[in-house]
Structure formats: structure tokens, C-alpha cells
Structure 1
Amino acid sequence: MAEFKKGDRVSWKSHGGTAEGEVEEKITEDTEAAGRTVRASRDDPQYKVRSEKSGGDAVHKPGALKKES
């Protein structure tokens, strides 16, 4: 499983295209983020990311994110 840290630049598929942004935090417990309930644990984390283009927040599983250089 990929590991990301705060500040990492990442990309992900979004509405038929690709979005880019920055990791804001690693989520390791159930919480409210990006306007929805996020189910996460230490063994199954998710990442809150901020879109460069829209400025909006999203939450993704590690497999949906690709680290950019």
C-alpha cells in the first residue's frame, strides 16, 4: 500500500479527467471530512487532499492517488 505524507503532491481521477493537489492529512479513524463520513482505520487509512484547480477538499484511499514529482 502506498504511503503519503502532508505536503506530497498527488494526482487522482476526477469526473473523467485527472485532478492534482496536495495531501493535507492522513485519516486513520472514522471522521467527518470533505462533507461526508469517512470510514478509515490504521490498517485502512484514507487521505484528505486539496485540489489545486478548485481548492476543494476530497478524501481518497491510497490506491486512488499517484505521487507526482
Structure 2
Amino acid sequence: MTARHSALCAEEAEEVVKELRAALAKAGIVLPSLGLDPVSLAREAPCPLVDSGRCPVETDRRLAGAVVR
């Protein structure tokens, strides 16, 4: 993987986080720790993962309801 490819992966992941945050906000949902996974960023040639975990049960319930619609 080239440095340019890694940079593009990181940029794309950051954009996806912004898009997901905006879409969830429209549904009245906030994922407190939504962001890029720091472990996947630490790789030699990073292609980051989106971390959407660590939210309260009520938030998960609302998220599940929004996905089913």
C-alpha cells in the first residue's frame, strides 16, 4: 500500500464519519464515541475502521428502530 493510498483511506473514513454523524443527527441519534478506530490508524499502512461503539442502551434501541424503518 502506498502512502497516498493510506491518506485516501483516512480521508474517506473521516468523510464517512461525518456523513454518518449527520444522518444519525437527522434521526435524533448521537453516538458519543463515533470516530476513527485508533488501533487501525496505528498500522504501518493505515486504512482506518470506523468505531461506532460505546453508547447507552437507549441509543442502541433508537438506532435499531431507525435502521428498521
Using the size of structure 1 for normalisation, the TM-score is 0.28
Larger Rg: 2
From the two aligned structures, give the one with the greater strand fraction: 1
From the two aligned structures, give the one with the greater helix fraction: 2
Using the size of structure 2 for normalisation, the TM-score is 0.28
